[in-house]
Amino acid sequence: MKKEYKIFIFGLFLLFIQSSFILRDITFIIPDFITVYIIALFFWIYQQDLKKALIFSFIFSILQDMMLPNINFFNFFSKTLIILFILSIKNKFLFKNIYLKSLVALVCFIIEIVAKDIFIFFRTSLFEFPFTEHILYILLNLLVFYAFYIFNKGLGEIGKG
């Protein structure tokens, strides 16, 4: 139980960082710490216990949506697609090296971008695909993913309880 509290507090910390106004003033593109957190849950923290990873993923995607000014659950929608993608390939590959994990993270970031663009299109009937901003967003998320990988020992210690 102590392990779950540490992981939950860490997720709340990441949610606070992502929703803080400090990052919004510094840059116009903010990395999605919650998406990287969800990927880390499946790869490093809860490799065997997918039920707990799913619970934490759903909780934090809903909390992320509730932090927005107008609640429309598009983060929940995109994170659910990411979770389904990871679950569909989780048992088909051995994720021992960082290259395969990075490829899965890259595909997850692309799924998230496409899902959000489609959701925005259905809500506003406008389709915009700012390619440069999406590339910067993907690169920034990959950078955060590599930071999670570097601090994997720390995450492993969090996961050990």
Of 123, 126, 43, 128, nearest to 89 by C-alpha is: 43
Where does the chain show beta strands of DSSP type E? none
pTM (two decimals): 0.78
- Of the two residues 37 and 21, the one the predictor is more confident about is 37
Given a cut of 80, whether residue 97 has pLDDT beyond it is: no
CA distance 1 to 72: 32
Q: Which two tokens stand for residue 161?
A: 């309880």
* 30: confidence class by pLDDT, cuts 50, 70, 90: confident
CA distance 2 to 128: 45
- Contacts with 45 (C-beta within 8 Å, 6 or more apart), sequence order: 7, 53, 155, 156, 158, 159
- Of the two residues 102 and 18, the one the predictor is more confident about is 102
What domain range is 148 assigned to? Answer: 2-160
CA distance 5 to 146: 24
- Of the two residues 49 and 66, the one the predictor is more confident about is 66
How many domains are contained in the chain?
1
Running DSSP on this structure, what letter comes out for residue 126? -
> What secondary structure, in 3-state letters, does 82-134 show?
HHHHHHHHCCCCCCCCHHHHHHHHHHHHHHHHHHHHHHHHHHHCCCCCCHHHH
CA distance 158 to 107: 26
Per-residue pLDDT tens for 99-124? 888 898 999 999 988 888 888 888 88
